[in-house]
Structure 1
């Protein structure tokens, strides 16, 4: 396994300063060598040139020693297999294990996480951001929005949509609709909210009877005897039946205590009770629920629900400013204000965040440690060396420059002591 190539920007930023400093350090070493040769050749002209020669000679030694030390971290100097060189490539696996142990001992222990999270007020920070999002770092908000949008668009929509729709279906199928409907019906009857429903049913029955009275007339005519049809009494009988039914419906609508209406309410009360406590009735309600969910029309509705939710999320994250200006933004700002004002709510949320972080550490800490160790072990040694050198190479070249200057000053001091004594 090799590391993915660096992006052009990420690759050029660390490489250019490191290369420039390497040229400076090497140039100083070459300059000290030239200065040493020049001073040695002209040392007979004046005693002071001996100080220049001593400075240059010691500077060359210091520069070469630091060049060897810096180079030995990443590769064999001059390609020679000198012992204890190319330290990073040879010890790549040990470095990965050490890094993993460092993460485990300092960050991924539940006690450490709990102690550090105890002083973090995540709820207050979230409240300040939600209450005044414009006061925060706009780049952070925009970057997070782009990241969420890219993730939503990059994920396999068929699989993701199938997972979401499957989860919705499972949740709907898990609902015990019988007791739920029974409790709702019982509560409605207890508060008298079923009366308008009953009135609506009676009104619907009256209008249906009025619109379909010809069906009753035809039925009476077909079943009446020849004598009744010959004398026209069948028509009178049909009118009497229709008028009687309409008077009955009118009395039921006008009188809340009508006997038939009370019987209907008794039936509704029994239905509410059966839905809550009768297993057979609950099974029938569950069967109706499943038939509704299996209906293609319901499946199309769930599909549309997911697409609308996904489209809304994409619109919101692509334009966070617009989203924060609408009802969602107002709700989030109110939530932010509540988080800042309600100390008890902050305590609850912070406790939840702390427990979640500790729980995640306890459950996945060892997995993260193994992931770091195994990932470093799988990296290509050359790539790791190149990236580390690019990351810290500029500072390492300063070590060479400082070694050259310090070595020269030490050589100058020693020459001065030797001359004076």
Structure 2
């Protein structure tokens, strides 16, 4: 549709140009008719005023011809005659392109001009006011979601998955697990966070012992000699069960129980071994290698991109997703902050100015070269036609003004001559 609109607009300009050419030519033809009529009338004894009219019409024709020549010479050779210094635009289009390029570079793409314009525009304040409106923040989020969906769709799954596998595997394999785990465990022990885990284990151990009397009895009976009487096994089992239950309760209820302190000492020693003891570090590395080689872990890594991709696409597609809502809220709050926070506005405006200055300083020659290079690629006659479509209609007024001004000048000159001679 933009192409059809452009063609229709060009055709409209062409029709308006043709109409103005007809009007300007009509003034020339009208002046010629008046000149012929009053010339004949004057030579056949017409009244005195015929000379004045004839002189005005004659000068009007001269002005009309002169301005027609001047206007036509800009775009083509008048009457097809290759008169020097005509068809200026087709012949000089490369120089015009370079001059236009230099003009734009000096007057528009200079750092002071761009910086002053951007500072006066108060971009941060305008952007902040625009973003602070809910509908605009939702629009920004929707556009960002479209970009994300497009980017995800463009990426090839096999290549992304290969990168993820290589990156994850390489980083995990290269990094020793022992020292970081030791430091983490050491930090947990220092702030006492492990005690909740120990409490949970002690509680579960006591509950298990309390509810598994039969299991204890069966174990005693199984381990007892075959010649041992059953009632003796029962007494021993009950005694062992009571001792185990009492021990489990003591560990559960006494925070300073020796077993608890032993656990703390073991964990502290283990944290140190993970960081400094080579044998322990080597055993952790062996466990790491076995873990990474496990089929389930490999399958999890291979499915990582597919899972992540599905989550991203679902969140980006659904306007009511938590991700979209959070992004919209963040955009709105950022816009409100830019409106209220003068320091932030000044910082954003400074970033914009600095970025524009960097682009102008670094890329202004390339930008202006685009103008001159584009003009150089244009065909001469086609360039002339395009420019004439844009400004040719206004140039026809030069021809009309030339006819009128020429007629007035001719009338004044003829009148002065008559007065002086008469």
TM-score normalised to structure 1 length = 0.67
Is the contact made by 2:20 and 2:393 (CA closer than 8 Å) also made in structure 1?
no
Distance 2:78 2:212 in 1: 104
1:62-83 CA-partner distances (Å, limit 9, x unpaired): 2232222222222222332222
Is the contact made by 2:132 and 2:334 (CA closer than 8 Å) also made in structure 1?
yes
1:58 maps onto 2:62 in alignment: no
1:307 maps onto 2:313 in alignment: yes
Distance 1:165 1:47 in 2: 101
Distance 2:263 2:310 in 1: 41
Distance 1:131 1:367, change over 3 A: same
1:11 maps onto 2:7 in alignment: yes
TM-score normalised to structure 2 length = 0.67
Gaps of 5+ in 1: 317-322
Is the contact made by 2:149 and 2:316 (CA closer than 8 Å) also made in structure 1?
no
Q: Tell me the equivalent position of 2:37.
A: 41
Distance 1:280 1:116 in 2: 65
Is the contact made by 1:74 and 1:89 (CA closer than 8 Å) also made in structure 2?
yes
Gaps of 5+ in 2: none
Q: For residues 373-412 of structure 1, what are the structure 2 equivalents within 5 Å?
A: 373-412=372-411
Distance 1:197 1:233, change over 3 A: same
Match of 2:303 among 297, 302, 307: 297
C-alpha RMSD of matched pairs (Å)? 5.3
Report the Cα offset of residue 32 of structure 1.
Answer: 3.3
Distance 1:341 1:404, change over 3 A: same
1:32 maps onto 2:28 in alignment: yes
Distance 2:95 2:101 in 1: 10
Report the Cα offset of residue 298 of structure 1.
Answer: 0.8
1:76 maps onto 2:72 in alignment: no
Distance 1:294 1:84 in 2: 78
Q: Secondary structure at the match of 2:303?
A: helix
Moved more, 252-261 or 287-296: 287-296
Is the contact made by 1:164 and 1:306 (CA closer than 8 Å) also made in structure 2?
no
Distance 1:185 1:378, change over 3 A: farther
Report the Cα offset of residue 387 of structure 1.
Answer: 2.5
Q: For residues 258-277 of structure 1, what are the structure 2 equivalents within 5 Å?
A: 258-263=260-265, 266=268, 270=272
Distance 2:227 2:357 in 1: 89
Larger Rg: 2
Q: Tell me the equivalent position of 1:86.
A: 87
Is the contact made by 2:27 and 2:403 (CA closer than 8 Å) also made in structure 1?
no
Distance 1:279 1:364 in 2: 55
